Amino acid sequence: MRTGAYAWLQPKRQKCNFSQPQEGHEIALADST
C-alpha cells in the first residue's frame, strides 16, 4: 500500500510542505507497514 499512501500524502504534503513534514513521513511509514 505504498503507492496509495504516497498518493494520499501528495495533496497533504503540498498543503503543509514545511509545516509538518515529519508527520507526513510517520503516516506514510505507518500506512506502509
Domain ranges in the chain?
2-32
Question: Which residues are within 8 A (CB) of 28 and not within 5 positions of it... i.e. 6 or more apart?
Answer: 2, 5, 6, 9
pLDDT value, residue 30? 57
For Cα atoms 4, 33, 12, give the angle at the middle one, nearest 5 degrees.
40
pLDDT in tens, 4-33: 666 556 655 555 445 555 555 565 555 655
